[in-house]
Copies of this chain bind each other. A is one copy, B any other.
Amino acid sequence: MDVTAPVARLATAAALLLRLLTARSLQPSHAGALLRADDEGLHLIATDGEVVVHLRTPATVHTPGEVVVPRRAVADTLTTLDAADARLTVQGGRLAIRVPGGRFALPSLPDAAPRPGHLPPPRGTVTGDDLRTAAVPVAGAASREHALPMFTGVRLRTHDTALTLFATDRFRLAAASIPWQGATAAGFDPASGGDGRIEALVPAAVLARAAQQLSRVPAVHVHAGDDLFALSWDGGSITTATIGGGYPDAQLSRLLDVTPACTVEADADALAHAVDRATAYGGPHGRVTLQAIDGALLVRADDPLTGESEQTVKATVDGGHTIRSFQGRLLLDALRAFAHHTVRLRFQEGMRATACTADLPTATLTYLVVPLRTPPSTDT
């Protein structure tokens, strides 16, 4: 292998490779990246055991070929390097990287890196911005408890021109819907297998990490096959296994059918600040009580050890003077998903979940939080 590549582009790709992969794998074969030069340019391919990332970066290929090298060393060597182009050459079991004023030689690793594989069929396309708006807060509602694999995933389903994303850890549920362009409309060859629809359960952490990194990509293509899910864009792809087993789509959809007993609108940031402060007063579980009164939400918390707090947040209130208690941290996660917006809270009867929504530019986002049982009346 012998190529000349622009340092800045290559450094960006090497850094993105690290960010799309988790660092926690201890398997030595997961520390490498396969660098492959062919007529498409230079490919960087790596895995952490959970996802396979394949990035392409422009390069002038003098001699095609490939090598596996430690991927962190590649990224660390290229970052802050003050040169326009780098020459990468494989010589006697080493990758030599040469720039004006510097030369580096990395030992090649035993070739255990993943081979560039086929992506599952393309199903349709979303914008990176929409994907992040939807995937990051929704993935935040998924469970981190790996004993319940189903709840560690984000459910993706298409409905005509919308892609919906769902996740729940059973104490809260987040659902988002973003514009979807089916594969045929997006210009994919129908023979590639995609029918413009999708129904998949994807690891939430993987989806959130990828969505964070792709927020500026204009077109993110969504691929799904029997057991594989992938996102691809101009420059690369990330592939992961889907989570097997059924998903309670019908039950979750019913939960989103909200019948409000009281609807409240307030500035999401002001309310989040108040809930954050109150949580510190809410005892070991950070119990926070919201009470809708005329023109305001009362945010209260008290505990014999941590003290008590009562704050008033301006709000428009439509309906009865409802009172509900929540685990403050969960409520705060919900409110932060609506930062810089007016959030609408719909309180339902009894122990049914409270729904938070907002009118975002292109996405709809609903965050349900299950209330705690209201404590027996206190004397505060």
Contacts and interface: CB of A to CB of B under 8 A. Distances in A.
Contacts of A280: 73, 76-77
Number of copies: 2
A94 interface: yes
Given A82-B270, A270-B82, A308 B76 contact: no
A313 interface: yes
A305 B107 contact: yes
B309 A104 contact: yes
Contacts of A311: 101-103
Contacts of A38: none
A169 interface: no
A327 interface: no
A77 B313 contact: no
Interface residues of A, number: 31
A91 to B, nearest CB: 12
Contacts of A305: 107
A190 to B, nearest CB: 48
Interface SS of chain A: mixed
Given A76-B277, A277-B76, A280-B77, A310 B107 contact: no
Interface string A268-307: 0010011011001100000000000000000000001111
Interface in A66-114: 73, 76-77, 80-82, 94, 101-107
A86 to B, nearest CB: 13
Q: Which residue, A94, A305, A306, A313, has most C-beta atoms of chain B within 10 A?
A: A306
12 contacts: A73-B280, A73-B307, A76-B277, A82-B270, A101-B311, A101-B312, A101-B313, A103-B311, A105-B307, A105-B308, A107-B305, A107-B306
